């Protein structure tokens, strides 16, 4: 893959900020300054919306709820209690984030359309309250706000407009830096994982509900700040700020600018502020023309305006490999070989009367490699779903590393030390192989929020750790040469290997692999078997479901056979191979020797 | 029946298939074997018109297929059961099958579906069940049955035995025998070289996008290079 040379984001940012400050300094037309301020506020709003829409892929139809709430909160508190407006404006993210948490918990788990509708109704409820609670908000008349001079206005004798512009530029800059830091942290990657493959994220130990709620809270907080900072320009806070028109503007600006990046929404916000104004010369038709431009942008540039910038690329290239000493593939605190690490007791699960898992019990000891085989539909995957927390059993218990994990969320099971892979390779398709692996390091080296936001030295150190771990896991699966390829472009078999690399990056003590060799030919399967064998010898406990008998017979210490949800045999590969019931149910008419040899 | 002449497929700058030439006769079962990324799936997708080929020629009964859409190719008798099944998870078995039939004759659709249920009794038991809730093997049967609903003359199976228990692999082999007897041509792309060569008349071996070996399935099964590279013997 050829590497496109790109300007480092830092240079882009510094250049942009310098130009903005210079422009703010040179502009003396109040009209242009006002337009620029409006552009910055809209950009900020879109930036906040982009956190949810772009990073996490949740469409929102009512982000004005946050925007207007911020404006009203700052305006009402400062006027009612006579507090400094600017101070209140900077506290506006708090109610915004609180509303985000509320909406997030209420709807985020449902995702998609439900979240969009939840934001839409929230905005409408808030708008109705603002319009009708006349005593508090003066209804459609609006709250009048006079912002006091900013400290640097009096200190340097700058104009009011200019001081305001400087403040907005400063805030946008800080937001860009902070969001970029988050984007490159486990939290930002968790958002992307939720967008791309939520089940995969859970299976890797990422608490997806918390990730979703934090995303919406941050997005809401930024939108609220934008709303509050619009107040000094408009003086009057009216229910319109909570209306559909602002929601639509934010959504469309984000899409038009390019939702996948941080710069995109900002550019989109600018376009939405400036274009309708600059189309004034066509007068009545300007909004129609603007709508046509918008349609064309969406149709012709799905990546948004930002994709036109030189050097823009969606996926960051992987670093050079082989520069540093890699961490050990496996965690040092693996349980002592021979101890029981997984005990399945009388596990039962029915789906609409059909027994998918029928009183299954088996035990796995540390360092063992146990195979789970059976005809298609025997309940092997259901069994994995029960073990990994994706499905709750009707009865029975699963003791994992000395603790019952029934009722735990999948990410808690993963954090407890048992990580599973999926039958249909679960990967994040629009990310590169390397980015996929990096997502999977989330659990192994967690990052506190503030440290990620400020990208503290400790965060950089842990980030290096995560990068090396990703490199080690890709190396173990021989995928380093394809690190910069999109995961969706990998052949099916390599996608399965990537999924295993990701499971390893989550640092399991017990690894559950669902059909890792499906899609591999016998030679590739043998290579995989060697890797799995090495991991087992290094102390990892592995449970494998697969139909590649040649591999399974050579690899497994013990095999458990399921049929119609129930265990019909258990023993060494040799015993199972000669078991009449297993031959009948699984191997079929051909003699087991012919199948397995 | 099908003639493929120096077909080249590339994604961006990366060639996935390089000047591949081969033929499939009427009523013939042809296997494509090769490692991951060898170009088997790309070849089938190019035949279906799902990816555009960069150079070369595809013809069915002497007629050039250039410019034919996937739908037109299906109308002329192509059908693909894709790798990884890709059944519609939230639709029932019956609905998945209905989508495979492109005509408008409801009675004919019903007749074909019944034929599929006769071929795969397991699907008949589950005709109202959502495809996403079925086991991997059942989904694979559904994907094949859905392709058969188009009434193909040339059936392409991409990894039909992926994730299937040995007993189901035997059933798929049996199924291929049956459709061959009905006069269909079949192309199987398979990792499971043993199964594919067992079911096929002839086979081509792909490596890094090139066809490196061709011959009767029986000859290839005995070929030491094939044994070493794909059967792990």
Q: If you measure CA to CA, which chain A residue comes closest to B35?
A: A521
Task: Judge if ipTM > 0.85.
Answer: no
pLDDT interval class at A593 (50, 70, 90): very low
Q: Residue A21 above 60 pLDDT?
A: yes
DSSP B137-194: HHHHHHHHHHHHTT--SEEEEESTTTT--HHHHHHHHHHHHHHHHTT-EEEEEES-HH
pLDDT of residue A228: 94
What distance in Å separates the CA atoms of residue A386 and residue B3, rounded to the nearest whole number?
Answer: 50
Cross-chain CB nearest to B170 (options A494, A520, A590): A590
What distance in Å separates the CA atoms of residue B178 and residue B199, rounded to the nearest whole number?
Answer: 11
Q: Residue A590 above 60 pLDDT?
A: no
What are the pLDDT digits (tens) for A484-525? 999 988 888 889 899 999 999 999 999 999 999 888 888 888
Closest-CA residue to A257 (of A473, A46, A429): A46
| Buried-exposed string A124-159: b where 16+ CB fall within 10 A, e elsewhere | bebbeebbeeeeebeeeebbebebeebeebeeeebe
Average pLDDT rounded to a whole number, residues B57-82: 89
pLDDT of residue B152: 93
**Residue A511 C-alpha from the chain's centroid:** 23
pLDDT of residue A443: 85
Q: Which of A92-96, A540-544, B168-172 has the lowest mean pLDDT?
A: B168-172
Contact A568, A582 (CB under 8 A): yes
pLDDT of residue A283: 67
Q: If you measure CA to CA, which chain B residue comes closest to A379?
A: B135
What distance in Å separates the CA atoms of residue B194 and residue B176, rounded to the nearest whole number?
Answer: 14
Which whole-number Å values give the CA distances from B84 to A195, A491, B41, B88, B196, in the listed order?
22, 11, 11, 12, 17
Token pair recorded at residue A518:
């499906």
Q: Does domain A335-417+508-597 have CATH number 1.10.10.60?
A: no
B1-77+154-160+184-233, what's its fold?
Answer: Rossmann fold (3.40.50)
Tell me how close the Cα of B166 comes to any Cα of chain A, in angstroms: 5
Q: B interface toward A at CB cutoff 8 Å?
A: 11, 13, 33-37, 41, 83-84, 133-138, 140, 159, 162-170, 191-194, 228-232
What are the pLDDT digits (tens) for B163-213? 788 888 888 888 898 888 889 999 999 888 888 898 999 999 988 888 988
pLDDT of residue B80: 94
Token pair recorded at residue B96:
């998945």
Tell me how close the Cα of A192 comes to any Cα of chain B, in angstroms: 24
Q: Residue A10 above 80 pLDDT?
A: no
Which residues are within 8 A (CB) of A562 and not within 5 positions of it... i.e. 6 or more apart?
A: A360, A372, A373, A374, A378, A379, A380, A383, A568
Best mutation target, A350, A377, A478, to test chain B (most B CBs within 10 A)? A377
Contact B208, B34 (CB under 8 A): no
Q: A interface toward B at CB cutoff 8 Å?
A: 2, 351, 373-378, 381, 423-424, 489-494, 515, 518-526, 547, 549-550, 585-590, 595
What distance in Å separates the CA atoms of residue B48 and residue B74, rounded to the nearest whole number?
Answer: 8
Q: Which has the higher per-residue pLDDT, A301 or A278? A: A301
| Alpha helix (H) residue ranges in A455-521 | 457-476, 492-505
What's the half-sphere exposure (Cβ side, CA atoms, 13 Å) at A383? Answer: 34
Q: Which of A77-86, A305-314, A324-333 has the lowest mean pLDDT?
A: A305-314
pLDDT of residue A261: 87
Q: Residue A595 above 50 pLDDT?
A: no
Interchain pair B37, A376: CB under 8 A = no
pLDDT of residue A597: 38
pLDDT interval class at A108 (50, 70, 90): low
Q: Which of A128-132, A589-593, B106-110 has the lowest mean pLDDT?
A: A589-593
What are the pLDDT digits (tens) for A394-436? 999 999 999 999 999 999 999 999 999 998 778 999 999 999 9
Cross-chain CB nearest to A520 (options B36, B167, B228): B36
Token pair recorded at residue A87:
């101070």
Interchain pair B191, A374: CB under 8 A = no
Average pLDDT rounded to a whole number, residues A455-464: 91
Which residues does chain A have within 8 Å of residue B34's beta carbon, measured at their own beta carbons? 521
Average pLDDT rounded to a whole number, residues A130-151: 84
Tell me how close the Cα of A376 comes to any Cα of chain B, in angstroms: 5
Q: If you measure CA to CA, which chain A residue comes closest to B171?
A: A588
What distance in Å separates the CA atoms of residue A100 and residue A63, rounded to the nearest whole number?
Answer: 10
Which residues are within 8 A (CB) of B24 and not within 5 positions of it... i.e. 6 or more apart?
A: B1, B2, B30, B154, B185, B187
Interchain pair A547, B166: CB under 8 A = yes
What distance in Å separates the CA atoms of residue B130 and residue B90, rounded to the nearest whole number?
Answer: 6
pLDDT of residue A111: 67
pLDDT of residue A222: 97
Which residues are within 8 A (CB) of B13 and not within 5 positions of it... i.e. 6 or more apart?
A: A2
β-strand B14-24 against A403-404: which pairing, if any?
unpaired
Interchain pair B166, A587: CB under 8 A = yes
Best mutation target, B11, B168, B191, B233, to test chain A (most A CBs within 10 A)? B191
Q: Residue A281 above 70 pLDDT?
A: no
pLDDT of residue B149: 94
- Record the pTM: 0.85
pLDDT of residue A592: 43
Which residues does chain A have within 8 Å of residue B165's beta carbon, measured at their own beta carbons? 373-376, 378, 547, 586
Interchain pair B191, A520: CB under 8 A = yes
pLDDT of residue A5: 40
pLDDT of residue A373: 92
pLDDT of residue A2: 32
Interchain pair A524, B231: CB under 8 A = no
What distance in Å separates the CA atoms of residue A354 and residue A593, rounded to the nearest whole number?
Answer: 33
Average pLDDT rounded to a whole number, residues B88-101: 93
Average pLDDT rounded to a whole number, residues B6-25: 85
Closest-CA residue to A123 (of A196, A79, A68): A68
What distance in Å separates the CA atoms of residue A501 and residue A520, rounded to the nearest whole number?
Answer: 16
State the DSSP H helix or E strand holding residue A396, giving kind and residue range, or none if neither. strand A395-400
Q: What's the mean pLDDT when you consider all of chain A?
A: 87
Backbone angles phi, psi at A474, to 5 degrees: -65, -40
Cross-chain CB nearest to B165 (options A381, A491, A547): A547
Interchain pair B134, A377: CB under 8 A = yes
pLDDT of residue A404: 94
Interchain pair B191, A519: CB under 8 A = yes
Q: Residue A120 above 80 pLDDT?
A: yes
Cross-chain CB nearest to A375 (options B33, B165, B193): B165
Q: Which of A84-93, A368-377, A464-473, B52-61 has the lowest mean pLDDT?
A: B52-61
| Buried-exposed string B100-139: b where 16+ CB fall within 10 A, e elsewhere | bbeeeeeeebeebbeebbebbebbeebeebbbebbbbbbb
pLDDT of residue A594: 45
Token pair recorded at residue B214:
């061709």
Token pair recorded at residue A315:
């996926």
Which residues does chain B have within 8 Å of residue A520's beta carbon, measured at their own beta carbons? 36, 191
**Domains in chain B: boundaries:** 1-77+154-160+184-233
Contact B8, B53 (CB under 8 A): yes
DSSP at A361: E
Contact B30, B204 (CB under 8 A): yes
Above pLDDT 90, what percent of chain A? 51
pLDDT of residue A338: 86
What are the pLDDT digits (tens) for B19-51? 889 999 999 999 999 888 888 888 999 999 888
Closest-CA residue to A492 (of B17, B42, B21): B42
Question: A349-352: long-range contacts (C-beta < 8 A, 24 or more apart)?
Answer: A349/A382, A349/A386, A349/A391, A349/A393, A349/A394, A349/A565, A350/A394, A351/B133
Q: CA-based angle B65:B70:B75, to the nearest 5?
A: 80
CB atoms within 10 A of CB A336: 10
What distance in Å separates the CA atoms of residue A12 and residue B125, rounded to the nearest whole number?
Answer: 62
pLDDT of residue A4: 39
**Domains in chain A: boundaries:** 9-241, 335-417+508-597, 430-505
CB atoms within 10 A of CB A473: 27
What distance in Å separates the CA atoms of residue A433 and residue A424, rounded to the nearest whole number?
Answer: 17
Backbone angles phi, psi at B114, to 5 degrees: -60, -40
Q: If you measure CA to CA, which chain B residue comes closest to A546?
A: B163
Q: Residue A1 above 50 pLDDT?
A: no
Q: If you measure CA to CA, which chain A residue comes closest to B170?
A: A588
Which whole-number Å values give the CA distances from A233 to A30, A31, A34, A92, in the listed order?
11, 11, 7, 16
> What is the number of helices (H) and of strands (E) in chain A?
26, 12
pLDDT of residue A580: 87
What distance in Å separates the CA atoms of residue B176 and residue B199, rounded to the nearest whole number?
Answer: 7
pLDDT interval class at A280 (50, 70, 90): low
Tell me how close the Cα of B167 comes to any Cα of chain A, in angstroms: 5
Tell me how close the Cα of A576 comes to any Cα of chain B, in angstroms: 14
pLDDT of residue A317: 81
Tell me how close the Cα of A419 comes to any Cα of chain B, in angstroms: 21
Cross-chain CB nearest to A491 (options B33, B37, B228): B37
Q: Which of A3-12, A297-306, B145-154 has the lowest mean pLDDT?
A: A3-12
Which whole-number Å values give the CA distances from A556 to A295, A496, A533, A562, A567, in the listed order?
58, 19, 9, 16, 17
DSSP A121-159: HHHHHHHHHHHH-HHHH-GGG-EE--PPPPHHHHHHT--
What are the pLDDT digits (tens) for A187-213? 999 999 999 999 999 999 999 999 999
DSSP B43-67: HHHHHHTSS--SEEEEEETTEE-TT
pLDDT of residue A585: 82
pLDDT interval class at A109 (50, 70, 90): low
Which residues does chain B have within 8 Å of residue A491's beta carbon, measured at their own beta carbons? 36-37, 41
CB atoms within 10 A of CB A28: 10
Average pLDDT rounded to a whole number, residues A311-322: 78
């Amino acid at each position: 893959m050829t590497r496109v040379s790109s300007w480092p984001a830092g240079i882009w940012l510094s250049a942009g900020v310098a130009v903005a400050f210079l422009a703010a300094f040179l502009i003396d037309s109040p009209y242009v300054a006002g337009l620029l301020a409006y552009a910055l506020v809209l950009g900020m709003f879109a930036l906040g919306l982009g956190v949810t829409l772009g990073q996490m892929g949740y469409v929102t139809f009512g982000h004005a709820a946050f925007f207007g709430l911020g404006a009203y909160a700052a305006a009402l508190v400062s006027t009612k209690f006579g507090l400094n407006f600017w101070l209140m404006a900077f506290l506006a993210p708090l109610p915004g984030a609180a509303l985000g948490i509320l909406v997030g918990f209420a709807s985020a788990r449902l995702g998609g359309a439900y979240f969009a509708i939840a934001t839409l109704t929230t905005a409408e409820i808030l708008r109705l309250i603002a319009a009708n609670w006349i005593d508090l908000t003066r209804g459609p008349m609006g709250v009048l706000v006079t912002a006091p001079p900013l400290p640097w206005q009096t200190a340097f004798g700058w104009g009011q407009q200019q001081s305001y512009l400087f403040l907005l530029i400063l805030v946008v800059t800080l937001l860009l830096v902070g969001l970029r830091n988050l984007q490159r942290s486990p939290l930002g990657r968790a958002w992307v994982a939720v967008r791309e493959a939520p089940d995969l994220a859970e299976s890797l130990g990422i608490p997806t509900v918390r990730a979703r709620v934090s995303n919406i809270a941050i997005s809401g907080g930024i939108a609220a700040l934008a709303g509050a900072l619009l107040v000094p320009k408009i003086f009057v806070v009216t229910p319109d700020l909570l209306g559909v028109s602002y929601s639509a503007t934010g959504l469309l600006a984000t899409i038009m600018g390019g939702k996948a990046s941080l710069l995109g929404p900002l550019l989109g916000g600018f376009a939405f502020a400036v274009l309708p104004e600059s189309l004034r010369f066509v007068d009545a038709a300007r909004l129609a023309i603007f709508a046509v431009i918008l349609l064309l942008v969406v149709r012709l540039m799905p990546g948004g305006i930002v994709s036109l910038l030189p050097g823009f690329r969606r996926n960051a290239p992987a670093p050079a490999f082989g520069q540093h000493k890699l961490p050990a593939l496996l965690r040092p605190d693996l349980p002592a070989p021979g101890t029981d690490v997984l005990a399945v007791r009388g596990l039962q699960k029915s789906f609409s009367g059909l027994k998918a898992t029928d009183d299954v019990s088996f035990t796995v000891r540390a360092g063992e490699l146990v195979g789970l085989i059976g005809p298609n539909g025997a309940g092997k995957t259901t069994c994995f779903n029960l073990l990994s927390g994706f499905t709750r059993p009707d009865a029975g218990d699963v003791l994992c590393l000395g603790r019952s994990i029934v009722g735990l969320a999948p990410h808690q099971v993963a954090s407890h030390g048992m990580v599973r892979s999926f039958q249909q390779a679960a990967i994040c398709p629009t990310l590169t192989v390397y980015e996929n692996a990096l997502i999977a390091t989330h659990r192994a080296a967690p990052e506190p929020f503030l440290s990620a936001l400020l990208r503290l030295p400790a965060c950089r150190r842990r980030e290096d750790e995560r990068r090396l771990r990703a490199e080690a896991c890709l190396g173990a699966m021989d995928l380093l040469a394809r690190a910069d390829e999109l995961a969706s472009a990998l052949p099916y078999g390599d996608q399965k290997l990537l999924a295993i690399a990701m499971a390893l990056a989550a640092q399991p003590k017990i690894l559950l692999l669902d059909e890792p060799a499906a899609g591999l030919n016998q030679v590739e399967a043998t290579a995989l078997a060697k890797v799995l064998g090495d991991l087992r010898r290094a102390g990892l406990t592995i449970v494998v479901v697969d139909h590649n008998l040649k591999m399974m017979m050579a690899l497994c210490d013990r095999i458990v056979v399921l049929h119609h949800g129930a265990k019909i045999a258990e023993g060494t590969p040799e015993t199972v191979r000669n078991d009449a019931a297993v031959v009948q149910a699984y191997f079929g008419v051909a003699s087991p020797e012919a199948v397995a040899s | 029946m099908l003639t493929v002449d120096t077909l080249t497929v590339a994604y961006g700058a990366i060639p996935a298939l390089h000047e591949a030439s081969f033929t499939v006769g009427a009523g013939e079962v042809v296997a494509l074997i090769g490692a991951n990324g060898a170009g088997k799936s790309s070849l089938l997708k190019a035949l279906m018109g799902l990816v555009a080929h960069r150079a070369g020629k595809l013809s069915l009964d002497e007629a050039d297929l250039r410019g034919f859409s996937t739908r037109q190719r299906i109308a002329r008798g192509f059908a693909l059961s894709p790798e990884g099944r890709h059944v519609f998870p939230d639709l029932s078995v019956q609905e998945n099958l209905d989508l495979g039939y492109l005509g408008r004759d409801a009675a004919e659709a019903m007749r074909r579906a019944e034929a599929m249920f006769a071929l795969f009794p397991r699907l008949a038991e589950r005709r109202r069940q959502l495809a996403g809730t079925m086991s991997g093997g059942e989904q694979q049967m559904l994907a094949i049955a859905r392709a058969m609903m188009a009434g193909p003359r040339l059936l392409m199976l991409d990894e039909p035995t992926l994730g299937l228990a040995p007993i189901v692999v035997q059933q798929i082999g049996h199924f291929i025998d049956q459709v061959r007897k009905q006069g269909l041509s079949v192309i199987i792309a398979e990792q499971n070289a043993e199964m594919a060569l067992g079911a096929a008349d002839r086979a081509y071996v792909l490596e890094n996008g090139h066809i490196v070996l061709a011959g009767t399935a029986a000859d290839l099964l005995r070929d030491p290079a094939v044994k070493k590279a794909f059967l792990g013997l």
